[in-house]
Structure 1
């Protein structure tokens, strides 16, 4: 019988999702960073940066006990990349930082609480592992889905995510 820890399961899922997300980010053309499918939508470059910067947010869930959005001393995200190569460099670094934080954690630490706050207002209060899965992985998967729609609208072949894409199958 094979037993696996929660930490090991999250690392395995993270590795799979990161590999797929990297394939999607690789498709972003440098000359389309300003593409915006709707006035309420993020620009393509902003969306790509957000997906990458969420990796640091996930690391925070593992390493810290809280994050207050009103804390003026909290680290600010670095300036947004302006090329796909810069996005990928940051993605690779932030991915490795997150993996390392998870490897240094364990099931016990991942059951400790994490709060997302805005001053006195508690926006989220759950175990670190739950925060990582819900606000981390699921959040990134949501935005990766948005990114694939942007690619489709730009007629850029979409890589397979959970199986082959229509582009990989030759269309429908």
Structure 2
């Protein structure tokens, strides 16, 4: 649970940068990639990340500009990436202007339970990282080259003249 607004902003800004890198690599052709029939496509998963920004955080009372949680997913990868960038900026500005460290202790009914806002921010961040991991699998299946998130990707190891560790 976050007890410092600045700590969340620092953590989320770093993770959102990683998410933005992935979203910027999407192609319109790749948006239809699915792990198996009947599961979310890459485009639907990317849009889910975008719309979770307002869906979860606006439930806490935080007000900012972002797409409606159930808005139809765009067919343009560029539009998905741009919408995420805008929603994140709007959300971070709202946090800075509407909340304080004390606000993180306030409890709000989320999904049938009382969650402190600091916990909601933690869950929100973990939710995004979880779905970002799912995206990387679909992106690889679609033939896209990925950047490393917490260390070099296979292609980055190769570019450094090294063999990627298998273990």
Q: Where on the TM-score scale, by shorter chain, does this alignment land: which range?
A: 0.7 to 0.9
Q: 1:167 aligned to 2:140?
A: no
Q: Secondary structure at the match of 1:169?
A: helix
Structure (1 or 2) with the greater helix fraction:
2
Give CA-to-partner distance per residue, 1:107-165, whole Å, 9 cap, x none: 11111012124xxxx2x32101101111x100000000000011111221111111211
Match of 1:146 in 2: 134
In structure 2, the gaps of 5 or more residues are 63-67
Match of 2:17 in 1: 19
Alignment root-mean-square deviation, CA: 1.7
In structure 1, the gaps of 5 or more residues are 65-74
State how many pairs are aligned: 152
Match of 1:155 in 2: 143
Q: 1:112 aligned to 2:76?
A: no
CA distance in 1, matches of 2:104, 2:60: 7
Structure (1 or 2) with the greater strand fraction:
1
Q: List structure 1 runs of 4+ shifted beyond 6 angstroms.
A: none
Shift of 1:87: 0.6
